Amino acid sequence: MAFSRGTEKIREKLLASETGALEKTGHCPLEVGMLGLSPYELVIGSLGYQNSYRLFNHQEGTRCERLFELGDNWISLESGRAAGTFGVLAASVSYEQELIWLVRALSRIGVPVRSADRGPRDPIVLCGGPVITSNPETAAPFIDVCATGDGEQLIPVFTGSWLDTVGSGGTREDLLERLAGQPGFYVPSLYKCDTGEPPVPISGAAPERVPRAVVPLKGVPVHSTVISSMAHFRSMFMVEITRGCRGRCKFCMVCKVNDPFRAVEPANLIDLIREAPSSARSVGLVGANLCDHPRLGDILETIVAGGRRAGVSSLRIGTVDKNLLGQLRACRANSITLAPESASPRLLKAIGKSYDPARLMELVRLAAEQGFAGIKLYYMIGLPDETDQDRAMLTGQLRELAEAASGRIKLSLSVNPFVPKPQTLWQDCSMMKTAAIKKVLRQLKKTVFGISREIELSWQSPVEATAQAVLSLGGRELSGSVEKAALERVRLLDCLAGQGVELENLLYQREKLTSAHPWRVLECEPSLKQSPNGG
């Protein structure tokens, strides 16, 4: 199929920006297309997407190419083929909104959006990632196979099962039945689901509850395969140094779906960073809390020795010190990110996350002294039981922060509404209503403005946060709304009427819910007690 010159030009531009793309030659019976659901510059910065791409290509008899919507067409970056020609369409879903983009992508590619309408000639739709691992039910009717847990275990099992069934003359039903019995695989079509009830198996092959796939982190650490100068973090070589988190914050889904905490073997990391491709200008360290890695100092020294800049994700306040800040500066890190979440000691205790406010001020002063350009601070509003007094404490903390920064370092505040997430300890807590969130944000804007015009304030839109909560917590009853939002390109919240979705029950009176959670079909505890190299 020939595409427009415009589509070809975008493809050429993206390919020219990259090094490391995998081009597997020879006959491969299994051809997987990895859907890039968000814009290219974000997708290429997702280690989950890159890891799946690499893992698929490492399997015998399997070729994997990356699919993006370029201009008006969904095509493969590697070969320029139409997305609909791949036998398997795979996606790693990192954000709830991507569920809507998944349905839109399937429709644009020309694949029936509901799995029940797909036939033997249609691709198999396989989805994994944190959103699917926490609650696959919202999007269950659109997905043939949900993969929950670690790709290192799931991908070899999927490819082996495909080659033994579909690849050997079997049917897609043979494949689905075979996968349903394997840890980490949830096949929605093998379960019936009455409104308001969790799924129940209708096939002997499907277990009542699906355990998550969990592996020890051994061998070569997860790292970027493709490095692109058009990525959001330009020309960055990303390396995973920890998976999971030792923290137990009650709102946090990231730590639950990646449990247990595992640290990557230091020697493997150091070798990998030393041998990073020459096109990499910086090394991005990936993990929920980097300070949990026992050899973070040595890892940073290796980056300095290689003459590269370090990119670091969020650091836990209690674990950062002067020495670490110095090492980060030596790696030319310009800013750090901390997540105080709240200024109220009472709420922090409730969250299960405590820090000494004096330490936070000290870190701001130290970072300013050491020449960092900025600090990003994440706060939440609308936490369970939050009062006006709790919120008022933020005003006091912001004044102190501005004083500690004293114009030498930029403070960027990101304030996000609390969204109850599946599998977390606060999954049954209610969310603040949109109008109330808007009111709190208005007040906060005034407060920040009054303290200092130097403080940058950003926030997640209350409407987006509400839609995110609906997608996080819903079940199959949402599928009509998701399909409408995807195909008619309208807001999800405008599609809920008449679909049996009551925001009042789903979001605002969760404490009163009596039905079982849709994600009950997943066994939420990991099967691996602790990895040998974990903490």
- Least distance in angstroms from the C-beta of 244 to ligand SF4: 8
The helix (H) or strand (E) run that includes residue 428 is none
How many chain residues interact with ligand SF4 (CB under 6 A)? 11
**What number of other Cβ atoms are within 10 A of residue 2's Cβ?**
7
Quick one: DSSP state of residue 95?
A: S
Helix residue spans in 86-150 (DSSP H) = 97-109, 130-134
- Least distance in angstroms from the C-beta of 353 to ligand SF4: 6
Binding mask 340-369 for ligand SF4 (x = CB under 6 A): -------------x----------------
| Closer Cβ to ligand SF4, 190 or 338, answer by number | 338
Are the C-beta atoms of 521 and 278 separated by less than 8 Å? no
- Least distance in angstroms from the C-beta of 169 to ligand SF4: 46
247 touching ligand SF4, by CB under 6 A? yes
Q: Can you spell out the DSSP letters for 163-225?
A: HHTGGGT--HHHHHHHHHTSTTEE-GGGEE--TTS--EE-STTS-SSEEPB-----SSPPB-S
| Closer Cβ to ligand SF4, 162 or 426, answer by number | 426
Q: Exactly one of 47, 64, 255, 437 binds ligand SF4 (CB under 6 A); which one?
A: 255
- Least distance in angstroms from the C-beta of 362 to ligand SF4: 19
Question: Segment contacting ligand SF4 (CB under 6 A): 122-130, 194-202, 241-249, 327-335?
Answer: 241-249
| Closer Cβ to ligand SF4, 253 or 501, answer by number | 253
37 touching ligand SF4, by CB under 6 A? no
Closest CA to 352 of 376, 390, 389, 383: 383
| Closer Cβ to ligand SF4, 140 or 324, answer by number | 324
Q: Exactly one of 131, 245, 409, 524 binds ligand SF4 (CB under 6 A); which one?
A: 245
| Closer Cβ to ligand SF4, 235 or 424, answer by number | 424
> Which residues in 275-304 contact ligand SF4 (CB under 6 A)?
288-289
| Closer Cβ to ligand SF4, 353 or 484, answer by number | 353
- Least distance in angstroms from the C-beta of 426 to ligand SF4: 12
249 touching ligand SF4, by CB under 6 A? yes
Separation of alpha carbons 101 and 93, rounded Å: 10
254 touching ligand SF4, by CB under 6 A? yes
318 touching ligand SF4, by CB under 6 A? no
Separation of alpha carbons 35 and 49, rounded Å: 9
| Closer Cβ to ligand SF4, 185 or 379, answer by number | 379
252 touching ligand SF4, by CB under 6 A? yes
- Is the alpha carbon torsion for 458, 460, 463, 466 positive or negative? negative
| Closer Cβ to ligand SF4, 167 or 287, answer by number | 287
Separation of alpha carbons 74 and 105, rounded Å: 8
374 touching ligand SF4, by CB under 6 A? no
**What number of other Cβ atoms are within 10 A of residue 430's Cβ?**
20
Per the listing, tokens 């390919």 go with: 15
Separation of alpha carbons 113 and 123, rounded Å: 11
What is residue 459's three-state secondary structure? strand
Return all residues near 299 (Cβ < 8 A) that are at least 6 apart: 241, 266, 269, 270, 273, 285, 293
Side by side, the strands of the sheet bearing 282-286 are 236-240, 282-286, 309-312
| Closer Cβ to ligand SF4, 54 or 212, answer by number | 212
Q: What is the dihedral of CA 432, 435, 438, 440, to 10 degrees?
A: -60
Q: Exactly one of 63, 223, 316, 421 binds ligand SF4 (CB under 6 A); which one?
A: 316
Question: Segment contacting ligand SF4 (CB under 6 A): 46-54, 231-239, 240-248, 320-328?
Answer: 240-248
Separation of alpha carbons 87 and 65, rounded Å: 12
- Least distance in angstroms from the C-beta of 151 to ligand SF4: 20
| Closer Cβ to ligand SF4, 254 or 393, answer by number | 254
Q: Which residues bind ligand SF4 (CB under 6 A)?
A: 245, 247-249, 252, 254-255, 288-289, 316, 353
